[in-house]
C-alpha cells in the first residue's frame, strides 16, 4: 500500500556472515552469468553492496505515498558470496514487488 512500510527478508545460503549485491530494477531479465546463475533483473543502476548476517536479515522499506508510484513493478535479486556455491556465488530467486496493490 502507498505510504506503508514493508519488510524485505533476506536469507543467507552460506550460514555465516558474508557480502552480497542487491539488484533492483523496473524490468525483469534473464541474463546468463559467468557464475553459473542468471541475473533476473534488468539493472540500470549499480547494485547495492550489503552485508548479510548468518541468519535472516530484514530490510525495512518505506513505500512512497505518491499516486505516481501506484502499479509500479520493481524486480529484486541478491547475489551472495558463497564459497560452497557453483563458482563461489549464489543467486536468490527473483522477486517482483508491485507498489500500491
Q: 3-class SS at 69?
A: helix
Degrees, nearest 5: CA angle 23-74-68: 135
Asked if the model's pLDDT at residue 26 lies above 80, the reply is: yes
Query: Could you state, in order of their start, the residue ranges of all structural domains in the chain?
Result: 5-98
Q: For the residues 78-87, what does the mean pLDDT come to?
A: 92
49 confidence band (pLDDT: 50, 70, 90): very high
101 confidence band (pLDDT: 50, 70, 90): low
C-alpha cell at 86: 557453483
C-alpha cell at 30: 534473464
- pLDDT, greater one: 100 or 78: 78
Indicate the pTM of the whole model: 0.86
Placement of cell 550489503 in the chain: 50
3 confidence band (pLDDT: 50, 70, 90): confident
Instruction: State how far the Cα of 84 lies from the Cα of 81, in Å rounded to an integer.
Output: 9
Instruction: State how far the Cα of 85 lies from the Cα of 58, in Å rounded to an integer.
Output: 23
Amino acid at each position: 500500500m502507498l505510504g506503508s512500510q514493508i519488510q524485505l527478508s533476506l536469507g543467507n545460503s552460506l550460514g555465516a556472515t558474508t557480502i552480497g549485491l542487491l539488484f533492483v530494477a523496473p524490468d525483469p531479465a534473464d541474463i546468463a552469468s559467468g557464475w553459473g546463475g542468471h541475473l533476473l533483473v534488468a539493472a540500470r543502476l549499480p547494485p547495492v553492496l550489503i552485508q548479510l548476517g548468518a541468519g535472516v536479515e530484514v530490510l525495512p522499506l518505506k513505500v512512497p505515498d505518491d499516486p505516481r508510484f501506484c502499479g509500479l513493478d520493481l524486480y529484486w535479486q541478491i547475489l551472495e558470496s558463497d564459497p560452497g556455491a557453483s563458482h563461489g556465488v549464489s543467486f536468490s530467486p527473483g522477486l517482483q514487488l508491485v507498489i500500491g496493490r
